[in-house]
A and B are shown apart, each in its own frame.
Chain A
Amino acid sequence: MGIQVGGRRGGPMSDPNVIPFIDICLVLLIIFMIVVTVLIAQVGYLSKLPPRAQTQTPPSASEQIVIRVTSPCGPGQLSSCRVFINREEVPPGQLLGRVQQIMQGRSTQMIFFTADDDVNYENAMRILDVVRQGGARNIGILTEPIGATASESMGSPATVQ
């Protein structure tokens, strides 16, 4: 004889045993509730795409901060990425401190971000994450490859080796 639930002593048990069913339903319910709360949160980086026809009146070069990520920067190899702030090369490990130093006292400073074509997207996002963590809130993404005519007037390195 199985578990006696609701059975009257002696008589036959007419109710099905629903307890395991409830258990499974509750567990499923909890799983779905957790999945929903995880999915509902949407995270990322808000940024601006500066209009392309800006080359006629470029702002003064000293105010421009361009962060550039160059190859080799394959998938999962964040340490192999080379990061430049304007013309100065910064090791990825020291980037956070350097960005914090730049952002000190001028939290509205626009920071432009760009990366070489070969750079893995996730690595670029990780470096963007460090830049944001350093206090940069206004992030502009340059859509023209650096070294093109538009970017040279923006005070960024054309070729850095």
Chain B
Amino acid sequence: MPSVFKRWRSEPLEVTSDPNVIPLIDVTLVLLIIFMVITPMLQVGAAVQLPMTTHPEEIKREEKQLTVSLRHDLSVYIGDTRYATLYGDLSKFEAKMKELNARNPGRQVLIKADRRVKYGDVRNLMKSVQASGFANVGLIVDKSRRS
């Protein structure tokens, strides 16, 4: 019989059959906290119900992208900040967009519009975006799982 077993057998009461799970918990908790912190940061723009379509193309996330959101109550957001209400004080929004365009021209504008708004509202927003000097837009949708 190998000597290893002899050593084990010499102290029978010290044998523990459980694996040491403490490092596993540590790693899991750290990963959990990392994901919890990252998840809210991934949401760009205001919270809207995006339209669902079946075959949208993937739009790569880039630093230069500018997200403009149109909510159901027709409030307009640049990034996470509310700027104007459509049909209301849109000049404030246009001024900000012009300033952003002057500072860094040629940016891609991603429009996140609520699915319940009318196309005319989105078109008026796009008109305003166009008037601010942007030409590349992306209309953000949600991919529906059922085809």
| Residues of chain A whose beta carbon lies under 8 Å from any beta carbon of chain B | 5-6, 8-9, 18-19, 21-22, 25-26, 28-29, 32-33, 35-36, 39-52, 69, 75, 114-122, 124-126, 128-129, 132-133, 141, 143-145
Is there contact, CB below 8 Å, between B25 and A21? yes
Is there contact, CB below 8 Å, between A42 and B140? yes
- Flag B70-113 by CB within 8 Å of A: 1 or 0 each: 00000000000000000000000000000000000000101001
**Chain A residue contacts of B61, Cβ below 8 A:** 40, 42
Is there contact, CB below 8 Å, between A125 and B32? no
Is there contact, CB below 8 Å, between B138 and A124? no
Chain B contact residues, majority secondary structure: mixed
A117 to B126, CA, bound (A): 13
A51 to B126, CA, bound (A): 12
A41 to B145, CA, bound (A): 14
A52 to B128, CA, bound (A): 12
Shortest CB-to-CB span from A119 to chain B, Å, is: 4
Is there contact, CB below 8 Å, between A43 and B57? yes
Nearest B-chain residue to A69, judged by Cβ: B119
Q: B1-34: which have CB < 8 Å to A?
A: 13, 16, 18, 21-22, 24-25, 28-29, 31-32
Is there contact, CB below 8 Å, between B43 and A33? no
Chain A contact residues, majority secondary structure: mixed
Is there contact, CB below 8 Å, between A75 and B116? yes
Is there contact, CB below 8 Å, between A143 and B138? no
Is there contact, CB below 8 Å, between A117 and B29? no
A115 to B123, CA, bound (A): 9
Is there contact, CB below 8 Å, between B35 and A47? no
Shortest CB-to-CB span from A53 to chain B, Å, is: 11
Nearest A-chain residue to B125, judged by Cβ: A143
A21 to B21, CA, bound (A): 11
Task: Give which listed residue, B18, B29, B113, contacts A121 with CB less than 8 A.
Answer: B113
Is there contact, CB below 8 Å, between A45 and B57? yes
* List of 4 A-B pairs having minimum Cβ-Cβ separation, nearest first: A117-B120, A32-B35, A122-B51, A129-B53
A125 to B138, CA, bound (A): 12
**Chain A residue contacts of B31, Cβ below 8 A:** 29
Q: Given A36-B38, A40-B42, A45-B56 in contact, is the A121-B138 Cβ separation under 8 Å?
A: no
Is there contact, CB below 8 Å, between A25 and B25? yes
**Chain B residue contacts of A42, Cβ below 8 A:** 58-61, 110, 140
Shortest CB-to-CB span from A135 to chain B, Å, is: 11
Is there contact, CB below 8 Å, between A36 and B58? no
Is there contact, CB below 8 Å, between A25 and B28? yes
**Chain B residue contacts of A133, Cβ below 8 A:** 54-55
**Chain B residue contacts of A40, Cβ below 8 A:** 42, 61
Interface residue B127 (Cβ < 8 Å from any Cβ of A)? yes
Is there contact, CB below 8 Å, between A25 and B29? yes
